[in-house]
Amino acid sequence: MALTIKVYSDYVCPFCLLAEAQLEQAAAERDVIIDYMPFSSQPYTHLAFEGFQFAKEHGKGKAYNSRMYTAFFQDSLDIGDIDVLTQLAEELGLDGAGFRSALEQRTYQEHHRKALQHAYKETNITAAPTFVIGDTVAKWLLFKDQFLEIIDSELAKRARLERWTDGLSCSADGCS
C-alpha cells in the first residue's frame, strides 16, 4: 500500500518550488502518493489555489501546481489575475471558459477556505513548505535523499505494524 505524502505549499514560496523537484525525484523511486494541500499566507494566491481545486477535479492538479510555480518564478506572471490563470489553465488542456467561470463565481472559495482552516487549525501548519510523511512532519526544504530517508523510515514502521494485525481484540461483532 502506497504511503501518502501531504505537501503544504504556497505558489510564491521559492523553497516550495525547489522542494517540488526533489520530492518528485524521490517519489519516482518509492511507492508514494503525493497529495498537494494549499498553505497560503498571501491573499494574492487565493484565486490560484481555487484554480488548483478546479484542475485537481479535472485530473490536472499536479501539472497545475508545477505551472503555477514556473509562471510566478520563471515567467514573472501575475498568478492573482484571472486572465493569466485562465490562459495557464488552457495551456494545460483545461476548459478555459469553465475555469474562468469557476473563478469568477468563486465556486471553490469555500473549499479553499476549509483547506486553509485544516492546514492552520487542525494540522497546525505554520510554514511552507511542510511535508507530512506518515507520522513525520518536516517544515522546511528537503532534498531527495532526505525525502527517501523519511519515506523509508515510515514504510519500515508501517511494515512492522502490519505484522501485528493478528492480535486479539474486541469489536461490535464480539471478541476474537
Taking only the tens place, the pLDDT of each residue in 34-64 is 999 988 878 889 999 999 999 999 999 999 9
Q: How far apart are CA 28 and CA 10, in angstroms?
A: 23
The Cβ of residue 170 has, within 10 Å, a number of other Cβ atoms equal to 8
19-28, 55-64, 89-98, 163-172: segment of lowest average pLDDT: 163-172
pLDDT at 169 > cutoff 80: no
Each residue of 77-136: pLDDT tens digit?
Answer: 999 999 999 999 999 999 999 999 999 999 999 999 999 999 999 899 999 999 999 999
Which pLDDT score, from 0 to 100, does residue 88 have?
Answer: 98
**Could you give the residue ranges of the DSSP H alpha helices within 76-143?**
82-91, 96-104, 109-117
Which pLDDT score, from 0 to 100, does residue 81 have?
Answer: 97
Q: How far apart are CA 152 and CA 12, in angstroms?
A: 30
Query: In the structure, what pLDDT confidence band is assigned to residue 176 with cuts at 50, 70 and 90?
Result: confident
Q: How far apart are CA 169 and CA 26, in angstroms?
A: 37
Q: Is 78 helix (H, G, I), strand (E, B) or coil?
A: coil
pLDDT at 17 > cutoff 80: yes
Which residues contact residue 9 at a Cβ distance below 8 angstroms, ignoring those fewer than 6 apart? 16, 19, 20, 36, 37, 38, 39, 65, 128, 129, 130
Query: In the structure, what pLDDT confidence band is assigned to residue 166 with cuts at 50, 70 and 90?
Result: low
Give CB contacts under 8 A, 24+ apart, made by 19-25.
19/129, 19/131, 19/141, 19/142, 20/65, 20/66, 20/69, 22/141, 22/142, 22/143, 22/144, 22/147, 23/131, 23/142, 23/144, 23/147, 25/144
Domains of the chain with CATH codes: 3-175 (3.40.30.10)
Query: In the structure, what pLDDT confidence band is assigned to residue 167 with cuts at 50, 70 and 90?
Result: low
**166 phi/psi in degrees, rounded to 5:** -95, 20
pLDDT at 159 > cutoff 90: no
Radius of gyration (C-alpha) of the chain in whole angstroms: 19
Helix 82-91 vs helix 96-104: crossing angle, to nearest 10: 150
- Cross-strand pairs, 138: 131
Q: With CA atoms as reference, report the closest residue to 3 among 144, 157, 124, 169.
A: 157
Which pLDDT score, from 0 to 100, does residue 41 have?
Answer: 72
Which pLDDT score, from 0 to 100, does residue 165 have?
Answer: 63
Cβ contact 136:154 at 8 Å: yes
pLDDT at 1 > cutoff 80: no
Of residues 1 and 58, the one with the higher pLDDT is: 58
pTM: 0.86
